[in-house]
Amino acid sequence: MKIVYHENSKVFHLWNECISYVMMVLKNGQLGHLYYGKRIHDRENLSDLLELAARPMSSCSFPEDKIFSLEHIKQELPGFGTGDYRSPAVEICQQNGSRISDFQYQSHRIDGGKPELAGLPATYVENQQEASTLVINLQDSVTGIRAELFYTIFAEGGILAKSICYHNEGLQTVQLERAMSLCLDLPDCDYEWVQLSGAWSRERHVRTRKLTMGIQSIGSLRGHSSHQHNPFVVLKRPCATEQQGEAIGVSFIYSGNFLMQAEVDAHDNTRVLVGIHPDAFSWRLEAGESFQTPEAVMVYTDQGLNHMSQTFHRLYQKRLARGKWRDQARPILINNWEATYFDFTEDKLIQIARKAKECGVELFVLDDGWFGARSSDHAGLGDWVANSDRLPQGIAGIAQRVEDLGMKFGLWFEPEMVNEDSDLYRMHPDWILSAPERVKSHGRYQYVLDFSRKEVVDVIYEMMAKILSEAKVSYIKWDMNRSITECFSFGLPPERQGEVYHRYILGVYDLYERLTREFPEILFESCASGGGRFDPGMLYYAPQGWTSDDTDAAERMKIQYGTSMCYPVSSMGSHVSMIPNHQVNRQTPLHTRANVAYFGTFGYELDLNRLTEEEIQEVKQQIVFMKEYRTLLQFGTFYRLKSPFEGNEMAWMVVSQDKRTAVVGWYRIMNVVNGCFTRLRLQGLEADLCYRNSQSGSLCYGDELMNLGLSTTDATAGEVAAGGESCTDYESRIYLLEAQFEFSHF
Ligand code: DGJ
């Protein structure tokens, strides 16, 4: 990897084996964008790549010069009001009411490694050789605001991370009305825009549309990244597939309101903007103050979507997630939520844990309902003290009983919320986000605590830390079950109310940081009514997240498949639950529920006491299988093979680093009668290695499995008797492939 500045042409070129990123100082002093994509040669005059053309009716920057028009020039930090009519990356309201800005090059430096972003989650390096960072200072001379642009290129993979820090070095106080983290101006619009969208219980479905003139966008104004849209998009060439072709994945490391948009102009240029959603954002920047934007990460590939995803998986698994659990296979857990909801006693929980222990489960998680007056969702949030009617010896007592069974104990919290019926609310009614003289909208009968106030975060920290110090807690599920309304803080003056959404998220990050530092042994799992805040910001603190409240196997295929576009298998909380399923009332076979959950952190969300002896034997085998292969499943190279959004079948696989072992998951939604012969063309195997197929016992070379494919034909393609197995709807199979010997060329 290298970063070069060509003095004469004023060109910056960042490159590694995969990508090049080229910029230049324009003749008006602003920073122009020249190229982002597959690596190109370096040369002094890459400034030739600047495209200029006189176009009628354009606004121009210089007298007698009809071609230098910001309307048509690709830029790195386009501002508002100086001739570029596309959406700006920055907008600053000044004391005289002007919103015009003009950021011009001042200086730059090139650093080894990558700096931290104070108070914000971000990718990191473990040594200086892993990445280099170019820092460019631009300044707006009228306001004195300096924009410090950070570009980090990683040594491996087509990865580029960007963020901007604004420093008010002028004399006047200004309002930052828009501070996007990333602007990428592309020279054409021949892309499909892929987004991960949905709703509660159907998060991150893959949706694709062709870019067209105008603005297309996704975002959130809910105060969390949301079930509706994930802060991730892909711009792919229409001919790109999972296996080949060009794609640019863009991910935003942030958990609050966000905007990702692509604007195609009249000449087919595409401007991609990513950052904190400018609606409902306004940051007062007094002289001497700074504002750091969150980080955006781009991955370029010319080898298809699987390759792009694998690059994100590696980066987010190894250089975004942190702590003891980052590299460790995750414990197989049982969670009591769908087994009991609020209806439990300590003895009932211990019965569930005991049976789980007998089956081989390692961690028992006590979900909602253990604290304060929490007998339903109407009360108790905010009072993080064990309910003594249910748990006579407190959390320490039940945790010890679980430990005595030979299991670890985990606990649910919803730290950001409060019920009106709680001691905390009675003591501090002004600690919630709510506006004077306005209705206080509730969500699930609860209010959002004002985490923009340090004293609120402090009190929640104290309550949580007390429990964690007194009891043996090995895991925390951190939930968040409603979006923000009436976003107003009683702790901030009128001119700072535009900061509340962002300050709230900073408060959440602060609490996470304090707890993960103070209790480094604890495994954190983030959750927001399932996948309402499943984003890279959370991954920095919690290496896994509850992917969705929908535990149905067929629904989970789509959700986990979509999630895998950006996020690694090790980050996806996935459990086997009861049938009929509690969300969709569907019956799916026990093995299919496990076959989907294996591609995640794996656990159970039911009372195993309610299963038949035959089912218990099956569960025991599932756990034995998962224990043996979880490191491979969670940390191997993951490939999507067949999309559940395109047909009746779905398939994915993981391959070990040495390529000697692979696990293939194949799933069929509806059974078919007298169906065709079906095959799966596998990926990532070693062509010369001969693999034993666990299902058929057959031996095949990697080249056969990748070119002809693995046969998935079953009894539905002929008579049941002939096939010897009877399939049904929601059928699935796991194929374990283990290398036996290598082809010898004699
Ligand atoms: C929503 C979560 O997603 C569920 O798993 C469960 O923890 C409930 N909240 C508890 O209220």
* Ligand 1 pocket residue status of 530, Cβ below 6 Å: yes
pLDDT at 495 > cutoff 70: yes
pLDDT tens digit sequence for 19-77 = 999 999 999 999 999 999 999 999 999 999 999 989 999 999 999 999 999 999 999 99
* Ligand 1 pocket residue status of 481, Cβ below 6 Å: yes
CA 627 to chain centre: 26
pLDDT tens digit sequence for 387-446 = 999 999 999 999 999 999 999 999 999 999 999 999 999 999 999 999 999 999 999 999
Ligand 1 nearest-atom number relative to CA 527: 3
| 201, 476, 546: residue to mutate for ligand 1 pocket, most atoms within 8 A of CB | 546
Nearest to 183 by CA among 312, 85, 300, 271: 271
**Model pLDDT, residue 721:** 47
Q: Are 357 and 407 in contact (CB under 8 A)?
A: yes
The secondary structure of 194-232 as a DSSP string is EEEEEETTEEEEEEEEE--SEEEEEEE-SSS--SSEEEE
Ligand 1 nearest-atom number relative to CA 528: 3
Active site residues: 479, 549
CA of 574 to the centre of ligand 1 (A): 13
CA of 201 to the centre of ligand 1 (A): 12
pLDDT tens digit sequence for 592-636 = 999 999 999 999 999 999 999 999 999 999 999 999 999 999 999
**Atom 1 of ligand 1: nearest residue by CA position:** 529
Ligand 1 nearest-atom number relative to CA 444: 11
**Atom 9 of ligand 1: nearest residue by CA position:** 529
* Ligand 1 pocket residue status of 263, Cβ below 6 Å: no
| 340, 368, 417, 552: residue to mutate for ligand 1 pocket, most atoms within 8 A of CB | 368
**Atom 11 of ligand 1: nearest residue by CA position:** 368
* Ligand 1 pocket residue status of 527, Cβ below 6 Å: yes
| 371, 481, 533, 582: residue to mutate for ligand 1 pocket, most atoms within 8 A of CB | 481
Ligand 1 nearest-atom number relative to CA 367: 7
CA of 381 to the centre of ligand 1 (A): 13
CA of 509 to the centre of ligand 1 (A): 20
* Ligand 1 pocket residue status of 529, Cβ below 6 Å: yes
Look at the pTM and tell me if it is higher than 0.95: yes
* Ligand 1 pocket residue status of 412, Cβ below 6 Å: yes
Contacts 24+ apart (CB under 8 A), 467-471: 467/384, 467/386, 467/395, 467/411, 468/515, 468/518, 468/519, 468/522, 470/394, 470/395, 470/396, 471/394, 471/395, 471/396, 471/399, 471/400, 471/409, 471/411
| 200, 335, 337, 534: residue to mutate for ligand 1 pocket, most atoms within 8 A of CB | 337
What average pLDDT does this structure show over 659-672?
96
pLDDT tens digit sequence for 271-315 = 999 999 999 999 999 999 999 999 999 999 999 999 999 999 999
**Model pLDDT, residue 717:** 73
pLDDT tens digit sequence for 336-389 = 999 999 999 999 999 999 999 999 999 999 999 999 999 999 999 999 999 999
Burial tier of 639 (Cβ tally within 10 Å: 0-12, 13-18, 19+): buried
- Listed in sequence order, the DSSP H helices in 564-600 are 590-597
* Ligand 1 pocket residue status of 549, Cβ below 6 Å: yes
Ligand 1 nearest-atom number relative to CA 530: 3
Ligand 1 nearest-atom number relative to CA 412: 7
pLDDT tens digit sequence for 496-538 = 999 999 999 999 999 999 999 999 999 999 999 999 999 999 9
pLDDT at 681 > cutoff 80: yes
CA 202 to chain centre: 15
* Ligand 1 pocket residue status of 546, Cβ below 6 Å: yes
> Which domains, and CATH codes, for the chain?
2-41+61-319 (2.70.98.60), 324-635 (3.20.20.70), 649-742 (2.60.40.1180)
| 202, 371, 529: residue to mutate for ligand 1 pocket, most atoms within 8 A of CB | 529
* Ligand 1 pocket residue status of 367, Cβ below 6 Å: yes
CA of 591 to the centre of ligand 1 (A): 24
**Vertex 680: Cα angle to 675 and 681 (nearest 5):** 145
CB atoms within 10 A of CB 645: 14
* Ligand 1 pocket residue status of 368, Cβ below 6 Å: yes
Torsion-angle region of residue 119: left (phi > 0), alpha (psi -120 to 50) or beta? left
CA of 395 to the centre of ligand 1 (A): 19
Q: How far is CA 84 from CA 67, 91, 207, 746, in A?
A: 13, 13, 31, 67
* Ligand 1 pocket residue status of 337, Cβ below 6 Å: yes
CA of 469 to the centre of ligand 1 (A): 24
Phi, psi of 652 (to 5 degrees): -150, 170
Q: What does the alpha-carbon distance between residue 638 and residue 652 come to, in Å, rounded to a whole number?
A: 7
CA of 480 to the centre of ligand 1 (A): 8
* Ligand 1 pocket residue status of 68, Cβ below 6 Å: no
CA of 243 to the centre of ligand 1 (A): 37
Average pLDDT score, the chain: 97
pLDDT tens digit sequence for 452-491 = 999 999 999 999 999 999 999 999 999 999 999 999 999 9
CA of 479 to the centre of ligand 1 (A): 7
CA of 368 to the centre of ligand 1 (A): 7
Nearest to 197 by CA among 572, 698, 532, 670: 532
Q: Are 266 and 213 in contact (CB under 8 A)?
A: yes
Burial tier of 464 (Cβ tally within 10 Å: 0-12, 13-18, 19+): buried
pLDDT tens digit sequence for 706-726 = 999 999 998 777 765 444 567
**Model pLDDT, residue 720:** 57
